[in-house]
Amino acid sequence: MSTLTATAEAPRTAPTRPAYRVTGRRVLSSEWAKLWSLRSTWITLGLGLLFLVAFGLIAAARYRSMVGTPRMAPDFARSTAVSLSLFGTNFAQLALGVLGVLVTAGEYSTGLIRSTLAAVPRRLPVLWSKAAVFGLVALVVGTLGAFVAFQFGSGIVSGTPAAMGLTHAGVVRSLLGAGLYLGLVGVIGTALGALLRSVAGGISVLVAGLMLIPGLTALLPSSWQDDISPYLPSHAGQALFALTQDATTLSPLAGLLVLLGWTALALAGAAYRLVRTDA
């Protein structure tokens, strides 16, 4: 009887729940899963890869059809297999940059960002993880597209003055530079989305910075153009993957440093707003 009583009166202890800690690896894993769960990720990455390869092949085919004819413009006649193959970089950068904006601004438009920040109260690891994950994906896609475009494009222009192979000086550096440029554009897009918290606003600023403002610099006096134009993000990126440079362009290393500066500035602005204001 006493044994039964003791058993009945024994306190019931609730099952202990495992303690979960927010770690950098877990935040990265979460952002990786969220990125690939969206259909827009697959579509936009596919478009970016398609733009990079298709426009490069179109440029190479056009060069092949016009080589040696009086219809070819002098600038186009000086093209190389690298410049022709990377012709689609200007289009691919828009696709990857826009997707970068969607990675962050999309969560603000749907309200999912509140759940994300509730799970990661320190906030900044969310931004670093989003930028790192998408920057890596954009880097891989851009590098893959650059090498594929060059592999087929160099075959198209084989036997012409533009012909080149991977063993030519600067070719591999240019192709890797194109992938790195597209990766940093993706990070800039991610930062703009977090800074502006608006898909339309982020895309507008991205397009203006990469395409509109560089075009408007042509309206400036020539002396101003030489002082301003090389330091714009798109022109610094072009110096990063250009096979040759002239007096009006930056060296590949200088272009990389300038582009890293723009990327750091965008991330700093996004980090400041993320910490200082509510979602």
- Write out pLDDT tens, residues 6-29: 444 555 555 555 555 777 788 888
| pLDDT value, residue 279 | 67
Considering the chain, what percentage of its residues have pLDDT values greater than 90? 58
199: pLDDT strictly greater than 60: yes
In a domain, 150, yes or no: yes
Give the mean pLDDT of 264-268. Answer: 97
Say what the pTM is: 0.89
Q: Which of 47, 186, 37 is nearest to 110 (CA)?
A: 37
Residue with tokens 């006649």: 77
Taking a C-beta distance cutoff of 8 angstroms, is the pair 236, 262 a contact? yes
| pLDDT value, residue 146 | 96
Name the domain count of the chain: 1
89: pLDDT strictly greater than 60: yes
Give the mean pLDDT of 223-238. Answer: 88
Distance CA 11, CA 65 (A): 88
- Write out pLDDT tens, residues 91-147: 999 999 999 999 999 998 888 888 888 888 888 999 999 999 999 999 999 999 999
Distance CA 244, CA 237 (A): 13
In a domain, 2, yes or no: no
Host domain of residue 204: 24-276
pLDDT band at 253 (very low <50, low <70, confident <90, very high): very high
In a domain, 256, yes or no: yes
In a domain, 198, yes or no: yes
5: pLDDT strictly greater than 80: no
pLDDT band at 191 (very low <50, low <70, confident <90, very high): very high
Distance CA 220, CA 208 (A): 17
**Burial classification of residue 260, based on how many CB atoms lie within 10 Å of its CB (0-12 exposed, 13-18 middle, 19 or more buried):** middle
pLDDT band at 162 (very low <50, low <70, confident <90, very high): confident
Q: Which of 219, 187, 221, 193 is nearest to 205 (CA)?
A: 193
- Write out pLDDT tens, residues 62-76: 988 888 777 778 777
227: pLDDT strictly greater than 70: yes
| pLDDT value, residue 264 | 97
In a domain, 96, yes or no: yes
In a domain, 14, yes or no: no
Q: What is the dihedral of CA 131, 135, 136, 137, to 10 degrees?
A: 110
4: pLDDT strictly greater than 80: no
More confident residue, 85 or 75: 85
| pLDDT value, residue 11 | 55
Q: What angle do CA 272, 209, 229 make, to 5 degrees?
A: 115
SS3 264: helix
Tokens of 273: 């707003």
